[in-house]
Amino acid sequence: MQKPGIHFLHRLILPLLAILAAVPSCVGPVDAPAPVDYQHIVREGPNSVHVTRFEPGQGRIVLAKARDYSLGRETVSSISAREKAVMAINASFFVMEDKFSGIPAGALKIQDSWYGVPRLPRAVLGWEEDGGRVLMDQLEMEWTARIGDREEHVHMVNTVRNRGYLLLYTPVFNTSTLTAPGGLEIIVANGLVTGLRSEGDAAIPDDGFVLSYGVDSAREAVRPRIGDPVEIYWEFKPMRPDYADNSDWMEMDFLVGGAGLLISNGEEFDDHQVEKLSEGFDTTRHPRTAVGIDSRGRWVFVVVDGRQPGLSVGMSLPELTDLMLSLDCEQAINLDGGGSTTMYLNGAVVNSPSDVSGERPVADALMVVEN
């Protein structure tokens, strides 16, 4: 949990930060535990910016799912305490509603487990656990199920089922699919069909998965026989295959989806059309969370407070891009922001989350842990 008084303390120092904001840029180094360096930057706007840098090889960079890797949400500080993180930020966009709360709204891969996949070509950050090899691109995926001798396109993975879609549910999603009655669910264990179900909410085998057809698509589905073999395949489709192709992305230990590729090859990247961002998302000032890689190969974690006049107004994506360029980033991506924006360091939240209630529970956290 967030340490008592930290959010209130930020409210108390609003007048002081408003005065500092008149200065073009005020940078203050702050003591931080190895292996990270931390700065608090106050910029015109006003904007309160928190920056942490990490040298690959000095620790590990990992993703951790909320609620001990189950459905639901949890604060960054609570996830970090459980995982013994040195530093952490919020990561993926996610669903907030009802029983589906905490489902990633884009890519989320932790080692060999897929919690969510890109639904559109969206900005995605991928890396190997030591943090030395990092990929950022606008990325989509193609998933295929081979059921007997027939191949079917899998529309989505581990998320809310829609009419006319085929979904794949794996054990990391939940103990069951949480689907409504209707449609058709094919239960697979040890690579073989073990059951068919139309009542919805099928149990997901620990050693298998469930393929779930929505109501409309079930009419077109061919019902397999018990004992038929089923296999799942996937392929990465990056927008810039000359930068990193399917085989490169296959090697990444972790993936997390964002919205807005900011910097590529040291230059501003502003072509977000393919990502189909909601209107005003890029031009409106919001609290923001971003990750970059600088010219020295260091990871640069950034949170920008917002929605708090006098303390910090937040940034648009072009403003965030300029900030990341000023921090010497040669690659950068925008992650989930708004009320989710949080930076945890050395046992405390160091920024000022914008929700009145304080730190918002999120779906997952990106963190630095010691070797």
| pLDDT tens digits, one per residue of 298-333 | 999 999 999 999 999 999 999 999 999 999 999 999
Beta-bridge partner residues of 54 = 36, 299
- Three-class SS state of 249: helix
Measure the N-to-C terminal CA separation of the chain; round to a whole number of Å. 24
Q: What does the pLDDT read at residue 221? A: 85
Two tokens, residue 53? 């840098």
Least confident of 16-20, 78-82, 89-93, 168-172: 16-20
pLDDT band at 6 (very low <50, low <70, confident <90, very high): very low
Least confident of 78-92, 213-227, 352-366: 213-227
Per the CB < 8 A criterion, the answer to whether 333 and 261 are in contact is: yes
pLDDT averaged over every residue in the chain: 92
User: Do the strands 156-157 and 166-169 form a parallel or antiparallel pair, or are they unpaired?
Assistant: parallel
User: Do the strands 364-369 and 60-65 form a parallel or antiparallel pair, or are they unpaired?
Assistant: antiparallel
Q: What does the pLDDT read at residue 28? A: 57
Cα dist from 280 to 15, 284, 331, whole Å: 30, 6, 23
Q: What does the pLDDT read at residue 21? A: 38
CA separation for the pair 312, 276 (Å, rounded)? 27
Residue 112's CB: how many other CB atoms inside 10 A? 7
Per the CB < 8 A criterion, the answer to whether 294 and 300 are in contact is: yes
**Domain locations along the chain:** 6-133+252-292+306-369, 142-233
Cα dist from 293 to 119, 270, 327, whole Å: 25, 18, 9
Cβ-Cβ contacts under 8 Å for 16 (sequence gap 6 or more) = none
Q: How does DSSP classify residue 17?
A: H
Q: What is the DSSP string of 269-332?
A: ----GGGTPPTTTTTS-B-EEEEEEETTS-EEEEEE--SBTTTB--B-HHHHHHHHHHTTEEEE
CA-based R_g, the chain, Å: 21
CA separation for the pair 222, 219 (Å, rounded)? 8
Is 12's pLDDT higher than 50? no
Two tokens, residue 338? 């708004």
Is 178's pLDDT higher than 80? yes
CA separation for the pair 291, 59 (Å, rounded)? 17
Cα dist from 209 to 119, 168, 219, 267, whole Å: 20, 7, 21, 42
Element (H, E) at 81: helix 76-83
Per the CB < 8 A criterion, the answer to whether 71 and 174 are in contact is: yes
Is 202's pLDDT higher than 80? yes
Q: What does the pLDDT read at residue 25? A: 54
- Three-class SS state of 210: strand
pTM attached to this predicted model: 0.91
What is the average pLDDT across 229-252? 97
* Percent residues over pLDDT 90 in the chain: 87
What is the average pLDDT across 134-144? 97
Instruction: Give the helix ranges, DSSP H, for the chain.
Output: 6-12, 14-20, 66-69, 76-83, 215-218, 246-250, 317-326
Q: What does the pLDDT read at residue 27? A: 56
Q: Residue 214, by phi and psi: left (phi above 0), alpha (psi -120 to 50) or beta?
A: beta
Q: What does the pLDDT read at residue 34? A: 78
Beta-bridge partner residues of 37 = 53
